[in-house]
């Protein structure tokens, strides 16, 4: 058995639990010192590999690595940078090989979403195309929950829990004020193409809350929407609306971009929530409030789902184990075997089938009228937000870990990013 170093990088938008996957990778690698030498992390994702800006995770204490399990965001820095194809950009691939060769790296762990799975797949082909022996394993991560094959993606369960809890709390607030004040509360959540995150807002129905969900999968029908809100407000005195940022009109334009201009003629910067709130006000004349959760939702480690944290860790761990077994071009997955009680096992998917495939909400997860979620969807969602796994606190604030992130000495000439 050959001993080789490993490279780990975080890619794309970070989450509340991507560092739990990093923790799983590093702790598992440390437990296999006979097979894995150093674990290098890319500073700011794949850019760290291209610029030979590597972090020596071996310099971090066991306590610091354990702290990653409880720390949101990307501890080594992430980036939005998609490698082109080998044909279009051979220079970058050659550089990656040079860096990996210089630092004795034989394992490539890439922690990201759909675009990253594509990059990881390209890297996995390098042993054949450029003759460099590299095992590339993709570790799933995306709040959007839109990767195929795996039942769910680490990061999603926690953002779903945040959205469900926030919707519940704000709805209780509106319920108590609706007699003389706000009657409609609008919460905008992430999800440009898939409505998984917005769907989580539907879970508050079980707590007696009237809620309308606006999915990217369902074309926005203003008249039907207003009628639904009106019915709920008449029935309950109030209602909540959870709108996905990707909610759009029949012609594909997002609700957020309805030609709004400021005093200087600039396009409005606003999101979908104020637009939806405005539509409600114009049609029904009721008082409204709106919130845009933005980064708060994906960074909210304090209210992370225990299921999600556990799976994020397990998939990081399994990624290393798959590499040690000789796998290449694969991604560990969650295979659900039962809803109630919730059971799953860790599976494996070939990256060729993961890269560039988006998974949307199945139509039978969305209610017939398009404004809610079905029982099937609830069965799917409930276990994913189950359990709490709070961080420790000091002085009222969570004790999140900031790593030292010591740089590895460079061995190669500088590389110019283009």
Residue with tokens 């898939």: 194
Q: Which two tokens stand for residue 176?
A: 């108590």
Nearer to its own copies, 326 or 394 (CB): 394
What distance in Å separates the CA atoms of residue 209 and residue 202, rounded to the nearest whole number?
A: 9
Query: At closest approach, how far in Å is the CB of 172 from its own copies?
Result: 4
Among 131, 285, 395, 413, binds its own copies (CB under 8 A): 395
The interface with its own copies within residues 61-90 (CB under 8 A) comprises: 71-81
Query: At closest approach, how far in Å is the CB of 193 from its own copies?
Result: 18
What distance in Å separates the CA atoms of residue 16 and residue 156, rounded to the nearest whole number?
A: 9
Nearer to its own copies, 151 or 321 (CB): 151
Nearer to its own copies, 261 or 345 (CB): 261
The interface with its own copies within residues 194-233 (CB under 8 A) comprises: 203-204, 206-208
What distance in Å separates the CA atoms of residue 291 and residue 293, rounded to the nearest whole number?
A: 6
The interface with its own copies within residues 361-390 (CB under 8 A) comprises: 382, 384-388, 390
Among 253, 356, 402, 412, binds its own copies (CB under 8 A): 402
Nearer to its own copies, 132 or 162 (CB): 162
Q: How far is CA 83 from CA 7, 18, 45, 417, in A?
A: 17, 21, 12, 12
Query: Could you tell me which stretch among 54-62, 241-249, 393-401, 407-415 binds its own copies (CB under 8 A)?
Result: 393-401
**What Rg value do the Cα atoms of the chain yield, rounded?**
23
The interface with its own copies within residues 2-41 (CB under 8 A) comprises: 10, 13-14, 16
Burial 148-168 (b: 16+ CB within 10 A, else e): bbbbbbbbbbbbbbbbbbbbb
The interface with its own copies within residues 279-298 (CB under 8 A) comprises: 281-282, 289-296, 298
What distance in Å separates the CA atoms of residue 410 and residue 418, rounded to the nearest whole number?
A: 20
Nearer to its own copies, 118 or 308 (CB): 308
The verdict on 299 binding its own copies (CB under 8 A) reads yes
The interface with its own copies within residues 306-335 (CB under 8 A) comprises: none
Q: Which residues contact 177 (CB under 8 A, 6 or more apart)?
A: none
Q: How far is CA 400 from CA 13, 316, 412, in A?
A: 18, 20, 34
What distance in Å separates the CA atoms of residue 32 and residue 9, rounded to the nearest whole number?
A: 19
The verdict on 192 binding its own copies (CB under 8 A) reads no
What distance in Å separates the CA atoms of residue 165 and residue 184, rounded to the nearest whole number?
A: 17
Instruction: Please pick, among 34, 53, 98, 144, the residue that the annotation labels catalytic.
Output: 144
Nearer to its own copies, 106 or 271 (CB): 271
Q: Using CA atoms of 83, 140, 40, 123 in order, give the dihedral in degrees to the nearest 10.
A: -40
The verdict on 398 binding its own copies (CB under 8 A) reads yes
Query: At closest approach, how far in Å is the CB of 157 from its own copies?
Result: 9
Q: How, if at all, do strands 288-292 and 393-394 pair?
A: unpaired
Q: Which two tokens stand for residue 310?
A: 């556990």
The verdict on 342 binding its own copies (CB under 8 A) reads no
The interface with its own copies within residues 240-279 (CB under 8 A) comprises: 258-263, 266, 268-271, 273-274, 277-278
Site string for its own copies, 117-156 (x = CB under 8 A): ----------------------------------------
213 phi/psi in degrees, rounded to 5: -110, 135
What distance in Å separates the CA atoms of residue 219 and residue 221, rounded to the nearest whole number?
A: 6
The interface with its own copies within residues 164-183 (CB under 8 A) comprises: 164-166, 168-170, 172-177, 179-182
The verdict on 111 binding its own copies (CB under 8 A) reads no
Q: Using CA atoms of 113, 116, 121, 122 in order, give the dihedral in degrees to the nearest 10.
A: 160
Query: At closest approach, how far in Å is the CB of 262 from its own copies?
Result: 4
Query: Could you tell me which stretch among 22-30, 84-92, 112-120, 158-166 binds its own copies (CB under 8 A)?
Result: 158-166
Based on the residue annotation, tell me whether 144 is a catalytic residue of this protein: yes
Query: At closest approach, how far in Å is the CB of 376 from its own copies?
Result: 16
The 10 Å Cβ neighbour count of residue 176 is 11
Cα-to-chain-centroid distance, residue 188: 16
The verdict on 98 binding its own copies (CB under 8 A) reads no
Nearer to its own copies, 53 or 314 (CB): 53
Q: Give catalytic residue positions.
A: 144
């Amino acid at each position: 058995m050959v001993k080789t170093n490993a490279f780990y990088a975080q890619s794309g938008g970070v989450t509340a639990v991507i560092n739990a996957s990093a923790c799983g990778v590093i702790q598992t690698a440390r437990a296999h010192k006979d097979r894995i030498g150093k674990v290098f992390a890319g500073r700011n994702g794949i850019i760290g590999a291209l610029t030979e800006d590597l972090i020596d995770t071996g310099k971090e204490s066991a306590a610091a690595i354990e702290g990653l399990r409880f720390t949101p965001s990307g501890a080594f820095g992430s980036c939005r940078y998609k490698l082109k194809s080998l044909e279009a950009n051979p220079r970058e691939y050659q550089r990656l090989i040079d860096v990996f060769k210089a630092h004795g790296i034989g394992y490539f762990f890439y922690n990201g979403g759909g675009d990253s799975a594509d990059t990881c797949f390209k890297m996995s082909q390098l042993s054949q195309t450029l003759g460099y022996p590299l095992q590339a394993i993709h570790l799933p991560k995306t709040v959007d929950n839109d990767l195929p094959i795996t039942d769910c993606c680490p990061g999603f369960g926690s953002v779903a829990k945040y959205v469900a809890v926030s919707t519940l709390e704000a709805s209780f607030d509106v319920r108590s004020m609706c007699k003389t004040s706000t009657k409609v509360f609008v919460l905008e959540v992430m999800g440009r193409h898939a409505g998984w995150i917005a769907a989580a807002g539907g879970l508050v129905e079980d707590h007696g809350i009237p809620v309308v969900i606006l999915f990217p999968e369902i074309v926005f029908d203003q008249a039907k929407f207003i009628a639904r809100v009106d019915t709920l407000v008449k029935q309950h005195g109030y209602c909540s609306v959870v709108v996905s940022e990707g909610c759009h009109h029949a012609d594909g334009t997002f609700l957020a971009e309805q030609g709004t201009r400021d005093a200087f003629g600039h396009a409005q910067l606003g999101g979908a929530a104020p637009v939806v709130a405005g539509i409600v006000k114009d049609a029904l004349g009721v008082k409204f409030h709106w919130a845009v959760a933005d980064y708060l939702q994906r960074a909210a480690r304090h209210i992370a789902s225990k299921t999600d944290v556990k799976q994020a860790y397990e998939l990081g761990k399994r990624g290393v184990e798959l590499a040690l077994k000789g796998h290449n071009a694969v991604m560990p997955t969650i295979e659900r075997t039962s809803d109630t009680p919730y059971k799953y096992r860790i599976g494996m998917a070939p990256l060729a089938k993961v890269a560039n495939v988006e998974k949307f909400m199945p139509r039978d997860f969305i209610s017939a009228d398009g404004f809610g979620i079905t029982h099937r969807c609830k069965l799917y969602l409930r276990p994913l937000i189950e359990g709490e796994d709070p961080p420790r606190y000091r002085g009222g604030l969570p004790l999140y870990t900031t790593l030292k992130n010591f740089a590895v000495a460079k061995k190669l000439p500088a590389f110019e990013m283009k």
